[in-house]
Structure 1
Amino acid sequence: MYDAIVIGGGFYGAAIAIYLKTRRGFANVLLIECESDLLLRASFNNQARVHNGYHYPRSFTTAFRSRVNQPRFVQEHPQAIKRDFTNLYAIARHNSKVTARQFRRFCHEIGARLEPATEVHRKLFETRLIEEVFLVEECVFDACKLAEWARQELDECGVDVLLNTRVKSIKKAWNGLIVKCDGDAQEALSGHYVFNCTYSGLNQFAGDFPGTQIKLKHEIAEMALLQAPLDLADLGVTVMDGPYFSMMPFPVRGLHTLSHVRYTPHSSWLDQAKAEAGPYQILADYHHETRVDRMVRDVKRYMPAIADAKYVESLFEVKTILLKNEGDDGRPILFERHASLPNCYSILGGKIDNIYDVLEKLDAESFSLT
């Protein structure tokens, strides 16, 4: 009988398992991951940006929480942080949902540093299409170094880790919850509490699991990896906020990611609890054909130097958001305690620094192991 079973070995699952053991006094904690190691899925296959609020002019709450959480994340994970590059945000002249003036006011309201870019950096952009270019403060993280941190912390605090194991069902028991698995663990596991941190797989459990009340939307997302040309090698660039695209350093590979609002999402669908083919199976069956040529063709209209970038490969992953925030770009956490399945929680975050919003929620929970 475990005090807690955490399902999902991404950054959130690992951080929550460590929190339960070190800060809430759980004696026996088990972390279950279906992959062969930690932080191999959504925690790895993303743009690796540690947000500082700039991304969310249409969601003040998300922007403000980023401003609160980002310094703490950087302070607690310095070994995984890369910030030795210049970060630029540019505002498109046409079809943008925010003007340069509005962006300045927004950054002032959330307390985010914003300065005019140098003339050298301004010349990288097509002035007919770009209204203004700003120098900002953001950084990126190295997912492999975060995984090293997770493995070390889990080992030191005594969390049991079970890899290559997929949870199939969660059921009620007279003294807690029963988790049934396949993979390396074929037996049923018992826990007083279960924390479902499976990101896109939140609703794919049989048994008594009721599904989340908040509706989810999934999309297959492509993150292209490029070798940036010399003029862009030391830069991170984001163009706001209608013809949105972004190019950021990707420390794990020594490359840059390229994402585009039109071409990064390949397909999307509404989540269906206990669907015959879950999100990860849909991704596995999907033909991974890159759209990088279309990304580069559009981006070079705004930033001509991108034409000299060399495409290496693409990362494909399922991206999951709360359906209610599709229109405003907000990225709040999902934190549900299931009334019909006592002591079972489902947790999802839209950004890596949202982990502190989750931990605040957990701080407010009263756990009883008697």
Structure 2
Amino acid sequence: MEGARTADFDAVVIGGGFYGCSIAIYLARQRGFKRVLLVEREASLLQRASYHNQARVHNGYHYPRSFTTAYRSRINLPRFVQDWPEAIRQDFTKLYAIARRNSKVTAAQFQRFCRDIGASVVPAALEHKRLFEPRLIEEVFLVQEYAFDTTRLAAWAQRELGEGGVEVRCNSRVVAINGLPSQQQQVVVQGQGLASEAITCRYVFNCTYSGLNQFAGDFPGVRSGLKQEITEMALMRMPDTLEGIGVTVMDGPFFSMMPFPARGLHTLSHVRYTPHLHWNDQAGLDPYARLDEYARASRVDRMIRDVERYIPAIQGAVHVDSLFEVKTVLLKNEGDDGRPILFEKHQGLPGCYSVLGSKIDNIYDVLEQLDGEAFTPASRQERQGIEY
């Protein structure tokens, strides 16, 4: 590549969201990697999908049709709270309500499911039940579920990356991944000025979420089918009666409200109205470019009109902003709401991995997979002896 410089790293991690940062920190802290590079296309870390979501630390309640996902969330939640206590908000009441019609679970089934995964569930207090329209809601339960503050997670990541010696390049993106002799990889990085740099490394970790398949060169793409959605997460200022409360109505075409600590507001999402547009992922169709071109006309009015049938007090809420983002899910889990991780090793590019998680607590599933990998970071002599 004309004008390109060559630098050598043990690993290049592509994507500065929570997963990319956590993997880079893990490689430096736990696996002895001395030279790790983290490449992020935004101006700072944890600015895309890690920020533009419900900020919910799941405890399993959300997945009655996928026992494995529910149980893993239940196991991972206390670990997450212990590992990131400064980022966790617990000072609110979380309610799950079961709709009388169009729900895939009854109240009795939901209680039994919670017992099966070991998640706390008790009937809600009368004052909280009174928030709901009884003709539409069968039962309301008090549960244990928390929210996280992405800004505090970003501060943690910045600190740990620095202390671990990880080099971070923001406002940069990887445009190609190629295989080289001796099981080396080459990533081509473009900075703000579009100048390209060819970087060699032993390992590549593709943690770009919606951008998993958007690389030129030898990168084959992931084997699993992906669905992309442009979604709207409405940010609301709640009336006093709902201020310290989070609500999820189960299990069908309903909605959820969660505290959003990073802004001091609540998110409002709706199964029908949060997804604006969807398509099957394919190479060459950049999801982020499609999002940039999208008109972003809010559907919050439709959300509120439906929600107020179940919770009349929502009429006092004020729409402050909407977060539009691309959401990526595995096609194979469209029917059961399962949210496993995607962890692919690319056989044609030894040392190249693609990772996708759909929930923040999935990070433990990723780290367990990485624990089983036999990594061998390049020695200083090996790095000095590489010539291309």
**Is the TM value for this pair above 0.5?**
yes
For 1:12, which of 16, 19, 23 is the aligned residue?
A: 19
Distance 1:369 1:254 in 2: 43
Distance 1:124 1:67 in 2: 27
Asked if the contact 2:213–2:222 (Cα under 8 Å) also holds between the matched residues in 1, the reply is: yes
1:60 Cα deviation from its structure 2 partner: 0.2
What amino acid is the match of 2:239?
Answer: P
Matching of residue 233 in structure 1 with residue 238 in structure 2: no
Matching of residue 186 in structure 1 with residue 192 in structure 2: no
Moved over 6 A (4+): none
Asked if the contact 1:221–1:264 (Cα under 8 Å) also holds between the matched residues in 2, the reply is: yes
Deviations 1:233-257 (A, max 9, x none): 0000000011320001000111000
Deviations 1:144-193 (A, max 9, x none): 00000000000011001011101100001114011001115621111100
Matching of residue 25 in structure 1 with residue 32 in structure 2: yes
Q: What is the DSSP-based 3-state SS (H/G/I as helix, E as strand, rest coil) of the residue aligned with 2:320?
A: strand
What amino acid is the match of 2:248?
Answer: T
What amino acid is the match of 2:351?
Answer: N
Asked if the contact 1:5–1:194 (Cα under 8 Å) also holds between the matched residues in 2, the reply is: yes
**What does residue 346 of structure 2 align with?**
338
Matching of residue 247 in structure 1 with residue 245 in structure 2: no
Asked if the contact 2:32–2:377 (Cα under 8 Å) also holds between the matched residues in 1, the reply is: no
Matches within 5 A, 1:1-370: 1-175=8-182, 176-184=184-192, 186-273=196-283, 275=284, 277-369=285-377
Asked if the contact 1:228–1:309 (Cα under 8 Å) also holds between the matched residues in 2, the reply is: yes
Distance 1:310 1:90 in 2: 23
Highest Rg: 1 or 2?
Answer: 2
Distance 1:225 1:106 in 2: 31
Q: What is the DSSP-based 3-state SS (H/G/I as helix, E as strand, rest coil) of the residue aligned with 2:246?
A: strand
Deviations 1:6-25 (A, max 9, x none): 00000000000000011111
Distance 1:81 1:95 in 2: 33
What amino acid is the match of 2:282?
Answer: Q
1:93 Cα deviation from its structure 2 partner: 0.1
Deviations 1:100-129 (A, max 9, x none): 000000000000000100110000000000
Asked if the contact 1:92–1:243 (Cα under 8 Å) also holds between the matched residues in 2, the reply is: no
Higher deviation after alignment, 172-181 or 213-222: 172-181
Distance 2:175 2:204 in 1: 13
Q: Which runs of 5+ in 1 are unaligned?
A: none
The TM-score, its normalising length taken from structure 2, stands at: 0.94
Calculate the aligned-residue CA RMSD, in Å.
Answer: 0.8
Q: What is the DSSP-based 3-state SS (H/G/I as helix, E as strand, rest coil) of the residue aligned with 1:87?
A: strand
Asked if the contact 1:100–1:132 (Cα under 8 Å) also holds between the matched residues in 2, the reply is: yes
Q: Which runs of 5+ in 2 are unaligned?
A: 1-7, 379-388
Distance 1:98 1:219 in 2: 26
1:91 Cα deviation from its structure 2 partner: 0.1
